[in-house]
């Protein structure tokens, strides 16, 4: 049974703070993803990683960076949090290749005040 976990379910931060969101998967998946989910906008890809230390920008990378030092862990970093980054953040992982299912984590609801 695939398990994708995220470090926090709810997080409240102040404008300008550096924020770390962590995602861990236990199924040896090559690919990992960070999305943000906003009402009426669906799931938008921020960054993804196809292997350790490898990363690619998604559709909305501005204001974010990522780190993948170990295969099971993918971190999303907000260098200087802003109020427009208040959102639900979802991590996902999958085996390499086009046709494999993405397994999502439970999400982190981030509020930036």
Partner 1 sequence: GENVEQHPSTLSVQEGDSAVIKCTYSDSASNYFPWYKQELGKRPQLIIDIRSNVGEKKDQRIAVTLNKTAKHFSLHITETQPEDSAVYFCAASKGAGSYQLTFGKGTKLSVIP
Closest CB to partner 1 among residues 16, 96: 96
Binders of partner 1 among residues 64 to 83 (CB under 8 A) are none
Q: What is the 3-state secondary structure (H, E, C) of the chain?
A: CCCEEECCCEEEECCCCCEEEEEEECCCCCEEEEEEEECCCEEEEEEEEEECCEEEECCCCCCEEEEEEECCEEEEEECCCCHHHCEEEEEEEECCCCCCCCEECCCEEEEEC
Scanning 12-20, 64-72, 73-81, 104-112 for contacts with partner 1 by CB under 8 A, the matching segment is 104-112
Site string for partner 1, 10-49 (x = CB under 8 A): ---------------------x-x-x----xxxxxx--x-
62 binds partner 1 (CB under 8 A): no
* Residue from the set 104, 108, 110, 112 that interacts with partner 1 by CB under 8 A: 104
Computed from CA positions of residues 26, 85, 58, 38, in that sequence, does the dihedral angle turn out positive or negative? positive
8 binds partner 1 (CB under 8 A): no
Q: List contacts with partner 1 (CB under 8 A).
A: 31, 33, 35, 40-45, 48, 50, 58-59, 90, 94, 96-99, 101-102, 104-107
């Amino acid at each position: 049974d695939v398990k994708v976990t995220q470090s926090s379910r709810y997080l409240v931060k102040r404008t300008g703070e550096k924020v770390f969101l962590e995602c861990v998967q236990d199924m040896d998946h090559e690919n990992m993803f960070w999305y943000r989910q906003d009402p009426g906008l669906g799931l938008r890809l921020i960054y993804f990683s196809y292997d350790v230390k490898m990363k690619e920008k998604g559709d909305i990378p501005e204001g974010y960076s990522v780190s993948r030092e170990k295969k099971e862990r993918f971190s999303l970093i907000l260098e200087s949090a802003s109020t427009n980054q208040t959102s639900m953040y979802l991590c996902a992982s999958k085996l390499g290749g086009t046709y494999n299912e993405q397994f999502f984590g439970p999400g982190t609801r981030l509020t930036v005040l």
